[in-house]
Structure formats: structure tokens, C-alpha cells
Amino acid sequence: MNTTPRVSVQDLHRAAAEVLRLNDLGTMTTAAPNLYPHMWSWDAAFVAIGLARINVPRAITELRTLLAAQWSTGMIPHIVFSENSTDYFPGFDRWGTESARARPSGIKSSGICQPPVHAIALRQILDRGRANGGADQEAAETFLAESFDGWLAWHRWLATVRDPDAAGLIEIHHGWESGFDNSPRWDGPYARVQAGTVPAFTRRDTLHVADTGERPDDSEYTKYLWLVQQMASVEYDDEAVRNVVDFRVRDVFFSAIMAAASDVLAALGEEIGRSSDAGELRDFARRFRDGVASTIDPLSGLARDYDILAGEWISTDTVSGFAPLVSGGGESLLAAQRKLLLGPDWMGHPGLRFPLPPSTSPSSAAFRPRTYWRGPVWPFLNLLLGWASQRDGQNEIYQALKAASLDQLADLRFGEYYEPFTGEPLGSLNQAWTAAACLEWIGPDWQVRTA
């Protein structure tokens, strides 16, 4: 039974907005105080969505700061380092991107990427700006026109460099690129990584959790750092990385976001008269949508990743299996996916505190309810699933995700992730993209005054 204390939507909105204010460095929003003092790529997109609900110009600044870190190849790095803290590990000095020729001078960043949700954020900013009118509308429309080429270059880089065989599936070179860092999805590929000599390191993430079991252990982290060293050894040259890195996986959920975001960016391009570029983006969307659909496991009905180096499918009961719900696709496939999502292994599991999909199914042997991507519920991901449901006219699922998400966040602690059975917030509290998701779920509802 849900016993979360009731709070007014105005109080929830106020608390979420305060988290973004406290995490604001002026031109970027730190992902969370203390633990994550820098900007993360897909975090920034979700943060911008939330910011657009309260301050359109500030939302624009968030994406502008991220785009300024774009490499000359078109790649957008997964971390843009602020001067706010030197305590984060692995910091800029550990990434070895100083010698990467494609990195823009004067900007410190990592050398890998994350899923391209940015066009979805750009769409939300534009919609909020137009709804507000006046200076907000002008700023949003100007930003779309001036930034479009950057986002287009980003999608082109992914479609060519990260899908060299035109399989319709994005290749990643590190579990961190997926955003699902230590998911069971990567157990097989990581088991085959034989790390060489890695300099000693002191982690910071384990200092911010009550139980270190929530996080990957040091042996896993050594492999993470080894992959970084491999990429740095060839100065992050795109072609050379494929020849040296020990982790090459076609990521189905990343690919689904690529499909969805390419369609969104295409529509934005059409609005500003970029019809040829929009056609190219539509082609990307079709390619990756078809690629996602091609991965379905006939036994589970879930989408799968593909381990290139091992030459085998990766079948896991993780939330990434619902990639088609993000990419879109044929109605029979989507109907089957919705049935699974609402079923007893996922949102309909009787033990859940809130009917929200855990990162790994409680029915899976790999399920660990308190360990990062191996079981906890992630609020930003539910927002993405809600966005896709609304896009596809699935209002019932959208409303179910919205209601449960707002109930989950009513403790006003804005956890990084949540224990699925107890609803306990875990990881770093006052997480920016969790607060941003809350603001987007609330939308304009907070302005309603009851008698």
C-alpha cells in the first residue's frame, strides 16, 4: 500500500525548482551536489526539459554550454568538466583527452558519448517558448536556427562512425556510453575484458552511499578505466578506437533514442526550411527503428543488444528491452511490448512500492534491488517512456507513469534512483534530472489554485 505523505503539487514544484537552483553553476547544471559536480550529456538534456518549464532562456543556456563542448567530428562528449570541483573521479586528467585533436581547445571533456536525447529537449524548449510568447519565443526560435547544424552533425557522426555497417544499431565502446553503466546487459562483454596495468585510483562514488554494494566493485571499475586507457592510447581517433578497444556492443536502447530523436530533429529542421537535412534525418530514424525491431528475442519479446566481438546476442530482462516503445515501430510489436511492460514482471509486479518499471526485472536472476542499474527505478527513464507513450497516443500508460512518478517523488528528496519495493531514494539525493523530470511531469498543473 502506498503510504507516501501527500504534498501539494505547488510544494512539489517548488522543491524541484529549488534543486535545479542549488545545482546551477550559471552556464551548466551539476548533475548532483558533491557526487556529480560536472555536466553530463544526457543529464543536461533532461535538465533542460525541466528548466524550460520555469526559465526558457536558462534551458537554452544549458544546451548551448553542452554544444560548445562538441568535438570537430560531431561527437558530443558525455562529461563536460566544470571548475567547480577537482574531487570527482575519474576527472579530466584521467581521461587523456588532452591529445585528442577533435576536442575543442579550452574545454575539458571526456572522450566518449551518451544517448542523443538532445533533440527531444530542443523540441520541448521550443514548445515552451512558443507557449510563453514574446522574448521566450524569440530566444527559442533563434536558438533552434543557430544550433541546428550542431545537432545535425551529432546525428551524422552517430549514424556513420557508430554504425559503420548501417545495421541500424549504434555501437558503443564502454558501458558508460549507454548510460546503463553496470547493467546486467554488459556482464558478458565485461567478462571478456582482460584489463592490463591500470594506475592506482581512489573512487569517490562509494563515499556517497550508505552501502557500497549499491555501486560496481573495484574489479569492475578497473575494467572501466582500462577501456578509457585503450581509447586514450589512440588519442580517441574514431577508426583506431574500433581496432583497439575490448568492448564493442550494439546498444539497442541507445539506437532507439537515436531513432526517436532523429524524427524529432527532422521535424524541427522542416520548420526552419532545412528540408533536405530533414529527409536525411528521417532516413536515420527509419534505419534505427528497423534496427531496433530486428533485435527482438522470440522467447521473451524484449529487444536485445549485440556483442560484436563475441558475435552473439545479449538477452537480458532489463528495461532496455522496451527500446521499441521509444523508437516507435509496427503496431503489433508495440502492442506486445506494452502488454509486457504492464505485466507482472514489470509495472504490474505485486511487490513494487510504485507501479514503475525497475531497471532489471524482479523476476530476473540478475535483479539486485539496491544496486545502481541492476534493479532500482530511475525517474528520468520513466519520463522518457512517458514522452514516447504520449507521442504514440497511449494516454493510459502516460497517465499511469505520471501518477506513479509524482507519488514516488513526493518525499521531496529527488533520489538518483529508488529501491523498487520500499521506494527508498538511493544514490545521490537532490539529483538534477530527477527534479527536472518532476517539473516536466507537473507541467502547468502547479499553477492551478484550489479553493
Strands 312-314 and 417-418, bridge-based pairing:
unpaired
- Nearest residue to 22 via CA among 446, 441, 449, 428: 428
Q: State the Cα–Cα distance between residues 428 and 414, nearest whole angstrom.
A: 9
| Alpha carbon distance 247, 315 (integer Å) | 17
**Catalytic one among 62, 214, 416, 440?**
416
Distance CA 131, CA 236 (A): 42
Residue 215 DSSP symbol: S
Name every residue whose Cβ is closer than 8 Å to that of residue 265 and which is 6 or more positions away in sequence. 119, 122, 148, 151, 152, 155, 281
Question: Quick check: helix, strand or coil at residue 30?
Answer: coil
Beta-carbon neighbour count of residue 73 at 10 Å? 18
The dihedral built from the CA positions of residue 90, 93, 94 and 95, taken in this order, carries a sign that is positive
**Number of residues that make up the chain:** 451
Is 218 tagged catalytic?
A: no
* Other beta carbons less than 10 A from residue 90's beta carbon: 17
With beta carbons less than 8 A apart as the criterion, state whether 318 and 341 touch: no
Residue 27 — φ and ψ, nearest 5°?
Answer: -115, -10
**Of 262, 394, 389, 252, residue with least CA distance to 323:** 252
- From 18, 141, 181, 345, the catalytic residue: 181
181 is catalytic: yes
C-alpha span between 127 and 56 (Å, rounded): 10
User: CA-based angle 172:150:57, to the nearest 5?
Assistant: 110
Element (H, E) at 433: helix 432-442
Q: CA 118, CA 48: separation in Å to the nearest integer?
A: 9
Q: Which three cell numbers stand for residue 69?
A: 563542448
The closest of 368, 364, 376 to 424, measured between CA atoms, is 376
Tell me the one-letter amino acid at 64.
R
Would you please indicate which residues are annotated as catalytic (active-site) residues?
Answer: 181, 416
